[in-house]
Amino acid sequence: MSIAPSIQVTEDGQAFRAAPEARPDDRFATLDELVAGARDAIADDGLWDFLEGGAGDEQTLADNRAAFARLRLRPRLMSGIGVPSLETTFFGIELGVPILTSPFGAEGQFHPEGHLAVARANAVAGAASIVPEASTFSLEDIAAAAPRAARIMQLHPMGSERTVAWMIGRAAAAGYGAICFTCDCPTAGWRERNLRNRFDVDLAAVSGNYPPDGEVGLEEVFGQLFRRDEPIWTWERLAAVAAEGGLPWMAKGVLTAEDALAAAHAGARAVLVSNHGGRQLDGAPASLSQLPEIARALEGGAVEIALDSGVRRGADVIKALALGADAVVVGRLAAYALAAGGERGVARMHELLREEMITIMSLVGRERIADLDRSMLQAP
Ligand SMILES: Cc1cc2nc3c(=O)[nH]c(=O)nc-3n(C[C@H](O)[C@H](O)[C@H](O)COP(=O)(O)O)c2cc1C
C-alpha cells in the first residue's frame, strides 16, 4: 500500500503532513454527488460492492434508510432564533459538529491516504474520528496526522485478552482518549455480494496496526472472524480488560435495551446504537427504530448514546439527535467522501452536512443541539 506524496513518514515511522490544510472540494455540489464521485473513483466492482453491500438479503441495509425516510420534521414559524450552533459535547469531547466518523477498515483501498485524510478533515470540521483496528495505517500514524484532533480507538473484543490490553496501551500512549469496542462482530457477517464477486479484502489494507514484521500477527487478531472456532466474548471478559486498560469506553453494535443495560453494567460510558450498516445480522431492526427503546432504558443514567447506520444527510443527523442520540456517526458517507476526494472530499462532506443542519435547525426553530427533542418529530 503506497503512501500518497503529501504524506511523509519520519524515521520513527510517524506520518506527518507536508501540504497546507486542504480546502473542501467544491466540485461536489451535494452529498449525492460525493457518492457518484466515489463510484467513479472505485473502478473495481467487487470493491464497490464490499463498500455498498450488506448481509444476507440486505433487508437491514434497506430498513436503515427507510426508518429515516419515515420520520417527518415539524416546522416552527417566527421562532426569533439566531444562527444555530452545532457545538456540543459527547463522551467528554468538545465537538464543533455533533458528528464522528465511523471506524471503517481497509480504507486505503478507497483512497491511498485513508484515515490519515479523514482525521485531518475531521480536525478542521470539529468532528472526532473513531479509528478502526483494521485500518490501513497504524493508530500512531493516524494520531500524528492530526495531533490536536479528538480520537477514539476501535478494537474488537476477540482473541486473547493480552492482545486487546496491549492495543489499549498503544492507544493510550498515542493520545487516544477512549476505546470503542465493536461488540457486534465476533464473526464476519454473511455478505453475499462478496461471495458472488469472489472478493477478498487486500490484507495490506487492514494491517496498519499489525504489520508482517510486528509483535502480533494479523491472523492472530482477525482470524477468528472467519475460523469461528473460539467462544464469543462475554460482557464480563470485556469489563475486566476495559477496567484494566483504564480508558473510558463505548460499546458499538447495541440494538436492544437488554444489551444497553448490560453494557452500562459492564462499565461502558456510552453505547453506539448500530447494526454495522446492515453488514452483520440481516433482519436486525434499523438502528434508528431502536433508539427510543435504548434511550428509555438508559434514561436518568450517565451513559451517553451515539447512533450510526444509514445516515446519509444532515436531516438524518437532526432526526437521530431529536430521537435521543447525543452524537451521530457517519460510516459509508465518510468512505464515499474519502474515495471521491480524499481529505478535500471529507472536508466537503462536513461542509455540506453543516450547511444542511443549520438550514433545518432554522426551519424547525431550534438554536442549539440541546434544543433538539422528540416534539419536533412526527411519524407519518
Ligand atoms: C467498508 C466498511 C468497513 C467497515 N469496517 C469496520 C470495522 O473495521 N470495524 C467496525 O467496528 N465497523 C466497521 N464498519 C461499520 C461502520 O463502522 C459503521 O458501523 C457502519 O458503516 C454504519 O453504517 P452506514 O455505513 O450506513 O453509515 C465498516 C463499514 C464499512 C462500510
Q: Does any ligand 1 atom lie closer than 6 A to the CB of residue 37? A: no
Determine which helix (DSSP H) or strand (DSSP E) holds 129, and give its type and residue range.
strand 128-131
- Are 282 and 57 in contact, with CB atoms under 8 Å apart? yes
For ligand 1, atom 28, the nearest C-alpha belongs to 104
Q: Does any ligand 1 atom lie closer than 6 A to the CB of residue 193? A: no
pLDDT at 22: 83
Q: Is it the case that residue 20 has pLDDT exceeding 90?
A: no
Q: Is it the case that residue 6 has pLDDT exceeding 90?
A: no
Q: Is it the case that residue 18 has pLDDT exceeding 50?
A: no
Nearest Cα residue to 330 out of 312, 348, 354? 312
Q: Which residues lie closer than 8 Å to 75 by C-beta, 6 or more apart?
A: 363, 364, 365
Tens digits of per-residue pLDDT, 128-186?
999 999 999 999 999 999 998 999 999 999 999 999 999 999 999 999 999 999 999 99
Q: Could you identify the atom of ligand 1 that is nearest to the CA of residue 154? A: 11
Q: Does any ligand 1 atom lie closer than 6 A to the CB of residue 287? A: no
Quickly tell me which residue has 496501551 as its cell: 169
What distance in Å separates the CA atoms of residue 220 and residue 174, rounded to the nearest whole number?
23
Mean pLDDT of 282-307: 98
3-state secondary structure of 292: helix
pLDDT at 4: 37
Please state the separation of Cα 263 from the chain's center in Å: 19
Residue 53 zone, left/alpha/beta (φ > 0; ψ -120 to 50; rest): beta
- Are 294 and 260 in contact, with CB atoms under 8 Å apart? yes
Tens digits of per-residue pLDDT, 221-271?
999 999 999 999 999 999 999 999 999 999 999 999 999 999 999 999 999
Q: Is it the case that residue 19 has pLDDT exceeding 80?
A: no
**105 C-alpha to center of ligand 1: Å?**
7
For ligand 1, atom 20, the nearest C-alpha belongs to 277
Q: What is the 3-state secondary structure (H, E, C) of 63-120?
A: HHHHHHHHCEECCCCCCCCCCCCCCEEECCEEECCCEEECCCCCHHHCCCCHHHHHHH
Mean pLDDT of 80-96: 97
Q: Could you identify the atom of ligand 1 that is nearest to the CA of residue 107? A: 1
Nearest Cα residue to 130 out of 106, 100, 107, 88? 100
Of 9 and 271, which is predicted with more confidence?
271
- Are 120 and 150 in contact, with CB atoms under 8 Å apart? no
Tens digits of per-residue pLDDT, 29-70?
999 999 999 999 999 999 999 999 999 999 999 999 999 999
Q: Could you identify the atom of ligand 1 that is nearest to the CA of residue 312? A: 27
- Are 72 and 379 in contact, with CB atoms under 8 Å apart? yes
Quickly tell me which residue has 450552533 as its cell: 85
Q: Is it the case that residue 3 has pLDDT exceeding 60?
A: no
Q: Which residues lie closer than 8 Å to 69 by C-beta, 6 or more apart?
A: none
**331 C-alpha to center of ligand 1: Å?**
6
Q: Does any ligand 1 atom lie closer than 6 A to the CB of residue 132? A: yes
Whole-prediction pTM value?
0.95
Neighbours of 161 (CB within 10 A): 14
What distance in Å separates the CA atoms of residue 137 and residue 129, rounded to the nearest whole number?
14
**293 C-alpha to center of ligand 1: Å?**
23
**62 C-alpha to center of ligand 1: Å?**
15
pLDDT at 9: 47
Joined grid coordinates for residue 229:
472456532
Half-sphere exposure of 305 (CA within 13 A, CB side): 30
3-state secondary structure of 17: strand
Determine which helix (DSSP H) or strand (DSSP E) holds 142, and give its type and residue range.
helix 139-145
Neighbours of 69 (CB within 10 A): 12
Residue 198 zone, left/alpha/beta (φ > 0; ψ -120 to 50; rest): left
pLDDT at 380: 72
- Are 346 and 337 in contact, with CB atoms under 8 Å apart? yes
Joined grid coordinates for residue 237:
471478559
What distance in Å separates the CA atoms of residue 140 and residue 208, rounded to the nearest whole number?
10
Q: Does any ligand 1 atom lie closer than 6 A to the CB of residue 154? A: yes
Joined grid coordinates for residue 169:
496501551
